[in-house]
Amino acid sequence: MASGINELIDQLYASITDAKGFPLSVDKCILERNNALDLLEEIRAQLPAEVAEAKRLVSAKAEVIRKTREEAEQIRKDADMEAARMVEKESIVIAAKKRAQEIIAEAEGKAAELRRASSAYADDVLRKTEETLNQSLDGVRRSRMSFRNASGYTDE
């Protein structure tokens, strides 16, 4: 009679339900003692195995839950680390872009300063050249005037 505990309990319940009532009593009945005892013995024999199986299942379930929680925690940690790396990369990129903008602004400032300095230098060279040419022109005019005066030449 190898059946589960629930089936054995159902059989015992059916035996009690189907039992003939005791004369002049509603709560008492006549049972086949050997049949009821056999069912109880089988229940008693299977109960430790069923309890052990239930404990094993509960333990296995707890182990699965523990492993799942550990895996979930590891996944969360990995995700946190990846997010931190991404944030770090992003902050490095932001810092690099900021530094690049600073370098560009500095280069543009230096270029503007060089343009001003070269313009000032060119203006200074041209002014000195103009002064030299004016002095030479004045010298040529004086020489011409001296030559005219010495030779008595007139434009008229």
Q: How far apart are CA 4 and CA 154, in angstroms?
A: 149
Per the structure block, which two tokens stand in for 84? Answer: 């931190």
- The pLDDT of residue 3 is 64
Query: For the chain, what's the residue count?
Result: 156
Q: 26 phi and psi, to 5 degrees?
A: -90, -30
8 and 43 Cβ atoms separated by less than 8 Å: yes
- The pLDDT of residue 88 is 81
**38: nearest Cα among 12, 13, 20:** 12
Per the structure block, which two tokens stand in for 23? Answer: 């004369």
Residue 155 lies in a domain: no
The CA-CA-CA angle for residues 62, 63, 67, to 5°, reads 120
Residue 115 lies in a domain: yes
47 and 67 Cβ atoms separated by less than 8 Å: no
Range of the domain at 29: 5-140
**Structural domain total, the chain:** 1
Residue 146 lies in a domain: no
**Location of structure tokens 């992003």:** 90
Residue 22 lies in a domain: yes
Residue 154 lies in a domain: no
- The pLDDT of residue 54 is 84
Give pLDDT tens digits along the chain (156 positions).
446 878 888 888 888 888 888 777 778 888 888 888 888 888 888 888 878 888 899 999 999 999 999 999 999 999 989 888 887 888 888 888 899 999 999 999 999 999 999 999 999 999 999 999 999 999 999 988 888 888 877 665
Long-range CB pairs of 75-84, under 8 A, 24+ apart, other chains included: none
Residue 148 lies in a domain: no
